[in-house]
Structure 1
């Protein structure tokens, strides 16, 4: 009689106890990660990506409030699909990459929404202008690897992306959707 009761107590204790070893995802896998964007030019949907970025990450799904993320994007690594457009967008009227070589996102808070969905609050700095943003993201654990997917719409006018004749939004729309996938391993 005592043995089944002891086995049941041990099984219940193991099921109810918090995980002894949670995984902290903190090694970004650049080759499996990407940052892209979408926008409309003359009403036509366009997209592109950034070929170079660095990110630091610390995320434990059991303690999302303690998560931290920093992403630095090399703006000169833009790939719009044509070399001519890449050169134009890196220039002074758009990103002005000589004066502002990187865009930076730094998280300030992470809130779990349940079902592997999160809101990541932080600051986004482009061309020396910093704005608070909230980024919806999902997290998909795959063993010792996890993948963060999300998107955020910004207004290019808020960051002075497109000056002079490009400041108007009749040719290139004001809304730019940033899309990302960050893969990270942990232990």
Structure 2
């Protein structure tokens, strides 16, 4: 075999090997993961995050259609940057965390749309209300780990978040942008 052919064969094998995921991601690394949100209050943008969440994942980027993911977010772990707001948002009018302590997401379908880009369809349940959500997911390989990022717009009225005097959108907007950055690992 000539040198050019050997080099092409070696490059082809290396390229193929770099595209094959050795094992599916099966857990998340909480210290390297986050779930954040942005909203507008009286026209001013504000940010928040959830400090406690858990996930079960089984995702191989090469076999996305077989992937599964579920998340549980502890609503009382909300951090809006204001202790007063944190206490208010867990009340019955907002998350009602005493009756509904967790928000849940369960994937139904994951499909690849481009290299390292996917579309996820699943059910999001908050405060006893469940709705289908669809969002883009980006995968960035990081050695044996992978960074999974994405986001979607949640309509708080769909989940009865902000009842009574908070039901109108003049103080707190209906649209809440939810973003996540999840480091997934092959180990459990």
| TM norm structure 1 | 0.90
Counterpart of 1:160?
A: 160
Deviation, structure 1 residue 27: 2.0
Q: Per-residue displacement from partner, 1:126-149 (whole Å, max 9, x unpaired)?
A: 001000010111110011010011
Give the conservation status (yes or no) of the 8 Å contact 2:53–2:74.
Answer: yes
Tell me which of 3, 13, 16 is aligned to 1:15: 13
- Supply the distance in 1 between the matched residues of 2:155 and 2:117 (Cα, whole angstroms): 24
Contact 2:39 2:176 in 1 (8 A): yes
Q: Specify the alignment match of 1:55 in structure 2.
A: 55
Greater Rg, structure 1 or structure 2? 1
CA shift digits 1:6-43 (9 cap, x unpaired): x85x938x739965763311121001000010000000
- Give the superposition deviation at 1:59: 0.9
State the alpha-carbon separation in 2 of the partners of residues 156 and 150 from structure 1.
19
What's the secondary structure of 2:26's corresponding residue? strand
Distance, in Å, in 2 between the alignment partners of 1:101 and 1:29 is 22
Q: Contact 1:123–1:132 (CA<8 Å) still a contact in 2? A: yes
Structure 1 residues 166, 132: CA separation in 2 closer, same or farther (over 3 Å shift)? same
Structure 1 residue 115 displacement after superposition = 2.6
Which residue is 1:92 aligned to? 92
- Number of equivalenced pairs: 184
Give the corresponding residue for 1:70.
70
Report the CA distance between 1:70 and its aligned residue.
0.3
Q: How many Å separate the matches in 2 of 1:109 and 1:61?
A: 13
Taking the TM superposition and a 5 Å limit, the aligned residue runs for 1:17-166 are 22-166=22-166
**Are the equivalent residues in 2 in contact too, given 1:116–1:138 (CA < 8 A)?**
yes
Mark the runs of 5 or more structure 1 residues left unpaired by the alignment. none
Runs of 4 or more, structure 1, over 2 Å off, are 14-23
Where 1:62 maps in the other structure, the secondary structure is helix
Deviations for 1:18-73, whole angstroms, at most 9, x for unmatched residues?
A: 65763311121001000010000000001100000001111111100011000100
Q: How does 1:163-182 map to 2 (within 5 A)?
A: 163-182=163-182
What is the root-mean-square deviation of aligned Cα atoms in Å?
A: 2.3
Q: Hey, what's the Cα distance between the residues in 2 that align with 1:165 and 1:158?
A: 16
